[in-house]
Chains A and B, each alone.
Chain A
Amino acid sequence: MKVGIVRFPGSNCDEDAYHAVVDHLGAEAVFCWHKEHDLQGADLVILPGGFSYGDYLRPGAIARFSPIMREVVAHAERGAPVLAICNGFQIACEAGLLPGALLRNANLRFVCEQVHLRVESIATRFTSRYHINEVITVPVAHGDGRYTADADTLARLEGEGRVVFRYVDARGHVTDAANPNASQRNIAGIVNAAGNVLGMMPHPERAVDTLLGSADGLPLLHSLADSLMGGVAA
């Protein structure tokens, strides 16, 4: 399995993703500069966190037009997996790979803390190694993470089981207090209709080592590796 990590000007979680993939998952990873048109044969594309283009205009609004995004969209349309984390999630929404938008946190603060997530679906190629309703600990670090979509979109996401992660308290209950940004329905991560693009505000790549607080992000990478090596469809 080869992982392509896209680097935009202002990406700052690219090295974290590389570390997680290479040192903890044991897979091969390459960096793909945003001005290139080559994903270098990557099986999995990661759109990492950061502040691409300084969040000018809106987070992700400019990065969406980077040359490499044409290849990322084509990769996704082929059904190949894309993991879009934090700013990557914002970019994926702007690019139309995922529905909805990420708005300024309701408390207007940059939140940087460990949060609890409930795994809402294990029927995805990103989450097969988790248990359903498992509560995991993963950090968030963002100022614009309030997931927002219209009522029809929310109903479709819920009805099709495409809400993959939800912000919960330590006991797994959906509460306002556990919601770091006031996302609608405590949504922390969703997949597209085909199930091959996951967008999430929390950082699984920063939760790969108990020494740093949590290794709960590692099963996500292992799930992806399983699906790619086993040829399991989304």
Chain B
Amino acid sequence: MTRFRVAIQIVPRRGLLDPQGKAVSDALHSLGFETVGNVRVGRHLVLDTDASSADDARDAARRMCEQLLANPVTEDFHIATVEQA
């Protein structure tokens, strides 16, 4: 078993109203960043887990997202990186 560090991104599903993203977008516009379009605000998780391979760690992280970390009704998740810890 090897210890892996997995980074996970969870964001509100596209098409759903994301009021935090809208507020951030508006604030950026008022600062002069007019080029900014849609913004979505989500969560970034970094977790360490033991697994026999990077693929196994990724699979485990996916199951964690499906069962707890992301809400399947409203959120999308993305396993950003899997690195040896």
Contacts and interface: CB of A to CB of B under 8 A. Distances in A.
Nearest to A61: B68
Given A57-B69, A101-B71, A103-B74, A148 B16 contact: yes
Given A103-B16, A106-B17, A106-B19, 9 more contacts: A58-B71, A101-B71, A101-B74, A103-B17, A103-B74, A107-B19, A146-B17, A148-B16, A148-B74
A148 B16 CA distance: 9
Size bin of chain B's contact surface: 10 to 19
Interface string A63-102: 0010000000000000000000000000001100001110
A12 interface: no
A69 B11 CA distance: 27
A105 interface: yes
DSSP majority for the A interface?
A: loop
Interface of A: 57-58, 61, 65, 93-94, 99-101, 103-108, 146, 148-150, 182
Contact of B19 (A57, A94, A99, A104): A104
A101 B73 contact: yes
Interface of B: 12, 16-17, 19-20, 23, 43, 68-69, 71, 73-74
Contacts of A104: 19-20
A93 B74 CA distance: 12
Contacts of A106: 17, 19
A144 to B, nearest CB: 11
Contacts of B12: 103
